[in-house]
Amino acid sequence: MSRAPRDSLWIRRFQPRPEARVRLACLPHAGGSASFFAGLPALLGDGVEVLAVQYPGRQDRRDEPFATSMDALAREVAAELLPWTDRPLALFGHSLGAVLGFEVARGLQASGQPPSALFASGRRAPSRRRTEHAHRLDDEGLLREIRALSGTDSRVFADEELVRMVLPAIRADYRLVESHRSAPEPLLDCPITAMTGTEDPKVTVEEAAAWQEHTTSAFDLVTFPGGHFYLTAHAPQVAQLIGRRCGGTLYR
């Protein structure tokens, strides 16, 4: 018997919408947390219920060990999301979250509950590999990397205690994604929408377009002005796009 959907250490609902026709599970970037998506429900209409995944090793899960295997993490997240597939479930992942979302989608598909769509944001396709070792940098080098991507509130860097708190999670997540290699198969059966900033140093438009190779279904590439965290400046437009693709005008 399948489990009933419920909030857990893994799954957060900032605005429960039990009557929603569609659910959207959001997977954060490296060093990120579920709270990154706290404002998204307000940008979507009542037809979409937003779930946000909380990784171990941060915020209220800070006493848990960091994930060390993308495949193992994907299996865990897929198992936690399965009870929520009683209605269409789409996945949105940014950066590391896009890679994880892809592997979670594979897991859900293998369980007979494929997602209705995958939104892969700020990440090159799994078939477009780069050799990266940012997780091996010293603390100052890693901080330069993060500042260059503008992914963390600059006020964090002015507080030494906060830096000590967030840097281990960022390093662990970089290690997680930089050491992962996706298998070429299986392909997904759901549509993929790749989303990227035109000035993102981490992914070219061509690398984002290669997500098309990973699905047997529909594909679309959407670009936004900006860098790696283009979505913070274009949150309403991103939400509008997601709402349309999730099945109708479900956005405000």
In a domain, 251, yes or no: no
Distance of CA 163 to the CA centre of its chain: 23
Looking at the DSSP assignment, which residues form a beta bridge with residue 224? 197
More confident residue, 155 or 212: 212
Which pLDDT score is estimated for 33?
A: 94
Nearest of 13, 32, 16, 14 to residue 173 by alpha carbon: 32
3-state SS assignment for residue 203: coil
CATH number of the domain encompassing residue 113: 3.40.50.1820
Q: Is 95 a catalytic residue?
A: yes
| 129-184 pLDDT tens trace | 877 787 777 888 888 887 777 644 454 555 667 777 788 999 999 999 999 999 99
Q: What is the pTM of this model?
A: 0.91
Q: What six digits make up the tokens of 108?
A: 């859900």
Write the pLDDT tens digit of every residue in 73-113. Answer: 999 999 999 999 999 999 999 999 999 999 999 999 999 99
How many C-beta atoms lie closer than 10 Å to residue 174's C-beta? 22
Range of the domain at 72: 11-245
Confidence of residue 251 (pLDDT cuts 50, 70, 90): very low
CA gap 172, 168 in Å, rounded:
6
The predicted-structure confidence for 13-28, as pLDDT tens digits, reads as follows 999 999 999 999 999 9
State the chain's mean pLDDT as an integer.
90
Report if residue 250 sits inside a domain: no
Q: Is residue 2 included in any domain, yes or no?
A: no
CA angle 16, 19, 25 (to 5 degrees): 50
* 65 in any annotated domain: yes
Judge whether 190 lies within some domain. Answer: yes
Of 25-29, 44-48, 55-59, 117-121, the range with the lowest mean pLDDT is: 44-48
Among candidate residues 33, 95, 116, 121, the one labeled active-site is 95
| Of 227, 196, 53, 78, residue with least CA distance to 128 | 196
Percent of the chain whose predicted confidence (pLDDT) is above 90 = 76
Q: Is residue 166 part of a domain?
A: yes
Give how many domains the chain has, as a whole number.
Answer: 1
Residue 220 lies in a domain: yes
